[in-house]
């Protein structure tokens, strides 16, 4: 997905108070970054999803949000740790900033954890 300049401008308006915002095409959608942290993603329909973890997920649930899921080759639905941005986060910078901060905190916690090595055998 090529990210339209208008969409990038909208993301910069929403989350610009958190730092430099950019979007990078990936997997048919786009990753949304503040600095070097991936805080969200846009799906093919340009729906915004924000990063969650076990600490921030309850806030997204309380706001009526839902997780991003995709279907694996075997047909099973697979969620990833990104949840639909609540409506208030899409209304403008004042509503977006607290949700963006939650997404940044979740992304920072993820980068601080040691990565698990896969067992090749």
pLDDT for 11 beyond 70: yes
pLDDT at 82 (0 to 100): 96
| pLDDT band (50, 70, 90) for residue 30 | very high
pLDDT at 73 (0 to 100): 78
pLDDT at 76 (0 to 100): 80
- Closest Cα partner for 107 from 69, 46, 42, 50? 50
pLDDT for 113 beyond 90: no
pTM over 0.95: no
Each residue of 46-68: pLDDT tens digit?
A: 899 999 999 999 999 999 999 99
* CB-based contacts of 28-31 (< 8 A; 24+ apart in sequence): 28/1, 29/1, 30/1, 30/3
Domains of the chain and CATH, by start = 5-112 (3.30.1460.30)
Encoding tokens for residue 20?
A: 């430099």
Each residue of 69-87: pLDDT tens digit?
A: 877 778 787 878 999 999 9
């Amino acid at each position: 997905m090529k990210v339209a300049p208008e969409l990038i401008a909208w993301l910069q308006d929403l989350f610009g108070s958190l730092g430099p915002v950019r979007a990078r095409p990936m997997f048919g959608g786009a990753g949304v970054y503040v600095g070097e942290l991936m805080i969200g993603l846009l799906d093919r329909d340009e729906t915004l999803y924000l990063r969650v973890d076990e600490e921030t997920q309850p806030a997204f649930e309380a706001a009526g949000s839902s997780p991003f899921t995709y279907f694996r080759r075997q047909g099973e639905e697979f969620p990833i740790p990104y949840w639909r941005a609540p409506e208030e986060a899409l209304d403008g910078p004042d509503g977006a900033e607290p949700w963006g901060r939650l997404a940044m905190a979740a992304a920072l916690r993820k980068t601080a954890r040691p990565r698990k090595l896969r067992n090749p055998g």
